[in-house]
Structure 1
Amino acid sequence: MTTPTSEGLVRGLRAEARRLGFAAVGITSATLPEEVAADLRAWLAEGMHGGMGWMAATAGRRASPTAMWPGARSAILLGLPYTPAVDPFRNEGRPDAGTISVYALGRDYHEVMKPRLKALARWLLGAAGGGEAKVFTDTAPLMEKPLAARAGIGWQGKHTNLVSRRHGSWLFLGAILTSIELPAGGEPGAVASCGSCSRCLDICPTGAIRAPYRLDARACISYLTIEHRGPIPERFRRALGNRIYGCDDCLAVCPWNRFATAPADPGLEGDPANVAPRLAELLALDEAGFRARFRGSPIRRIGRNRFVRNCLYAAGNSGMPALRPAVAALLADPDPAVADAASWALAQLAG
């Protein structure tokens, strides 16, 4: 077979990526500057990763893709849009409902992206006539956001998430590392453009964005409701409001989102039942009910206990005495964090 030129290979790669549904494609070398690793080390040293011990354990491999896979030469970064069809702030003033982050309203993005990344990697190796490739969907010690910024998909905003001129804050990132040398190139206009804007810092309910580009996960509602095990510290419970899985505030206020016109990928299939689920129904979930209710959803990975714990904090913040029976029924829950949250919520409702 005739091997295409590097430029021809990249053109074909971009076309195939678009066909598979990826809205953004960028290519960079499989390296990261030393300052990225240094910043990671400083962040870990301050303990800002909270209970995510795996981040510290894999810090050496996170420093650069070649530290994880020495054979990597190029990194292909892909963006899948999840532009929300509903208002991220839709449940303000709805104390009876729990708010789920818009990214988790539908199917688990890992399950949607990984088969497509594998298909694109197979295409690449076939078109190149050989080589190696590995795919990643937020499940390995790979720093996708700095790589995506170097690949020209966007830039890391002051909230530390990626921002794109074309897609705003609403992109899932995937990556392909390959042994094939590819010319770098990304989207037009990917230069950092936050300017003097501080909306993401100003809106954070817990002040987790300590300074521009500096996020303390220990105070972040997304971390607290998804990653944190055990009782959430009392000083943060009121700030949770009715957020029961994740938080969109810092992303939702970004001015660049007004340019995000690409709809969410059809494969993500948002579930209308997750838009404003009633807390009374969620508090009644047992393990089997939770698994059935969130089959195929990213919510399922945190388990029933952590999810019901979050719902109890929302109930405590609701000011709705009608929720007392549902809360009281969980005072003797076998999980200590659930029982503790029920006790706290009941005290709030009594007050």
Structure 2
Amino acid sequence: MASLLCTKNFKAPGSHGYICLLCPGFLSTGDQSAKGNYGLLDLIQSLRWTSENIAAFGGDPLRITVFGSGAGASCVNLLTLSHYSEGNRWSNSTKGLFQRAIAQSGSALSSWAVSFQPAKYARMLARKVGCNLEDTLELVSCLQKKQYKELVDQDIQPARYHIAFGPVIDGDVIPDDPQILMEQGEFLNYDIMLGVNQGEGLKFVELIVDNENGVQANDFDYAVSSFVDDLYGYPEGKDILRETIKFMYTDWADRHNPETRRKTLLALFTDHQWVAPAVATADLHSSFGSPTYFYAFYHHCQTEQVPPWADAAHGDEIPYVFGLPMIGPTELFPCNFSKNDVMLSAVVMTYWTNFAKTG
């Protein structure tokens, strides 16, 4: 049976979460003035339309699969936890708006999946564009009158590894902390496939240290210390945590090799930001006996934009999912695709479409 692919234009995530481009879709004042999650509601409305109308295009409304990568994957995961996805109140369907989900390099448990201080960043944005900060109704009204470009041009910097504007726990669309919802089995009715790339954390390594010839010992220590400081606000236990991470992410058989340090530092960022949340999500989903599939992607195309030592980085699976090696390089993916790339892409597309068809 042939498959149909429907796409919803979605506001782009930054390399480490959401940039201000997402503030119109996810701005929240934490109260009734702007509850937030408008981006998720937009996706839900698109799924409602698809569920009601896809049969007219030869599709099956009872076999709909949603998928996304990065921030899109975390949104996909959040949709599986929302009661808004459970059924279509405009039709007689009780099967939900979709039945399967693919989360590529992202999870609702990622530190950048949910904004836990939305009001703080809403006021920060309002201050930058000259809006009243005291009354949230006036704040929202003022922001609505601003030109779109003025809003997206503002540099709103969240705490590292977190987001300023994104989905929020509003007690409605997202009723509780994603971890709690997963432990309660809120997403057990969906077949889920999720996975990660081998070197997701490449950008973090590139930004922190001069890594062309590997990572020196002092740079490694500084990177680990900064990692702990950025993630954990309490001073108690930080020293023990730093030393534990250094011990766990030191290759003791080759500990004086700068290239080995670079590899283990990449593994640290990849594990924390992508692997651990994805594995935890898969474990929680499978614990209820729900169909759960996990992949690890190790390949990347040849391009001058990626250092020769890099593994498959964040987003490197995307061209293979959409068959780009069969078409050729694009501006977004300027790759030198080989015959092996074409063959791999055919295999990946088969896996993805087979999951969409049968779970």
Would the TM-score normalized by the shorter structure come out above 0.5?
A: no
TM-score bracket relative to the smaller structure? under 0.3
Structure showing greater relative contact order (alpha-carbon pairs closer than 8 Å, 6 or more residues apart): 1
- For normalisation by structure 1, the TM-score amounts to 0.23
Give TM-score, length-normalised by structure 2.
Answer: 0.23
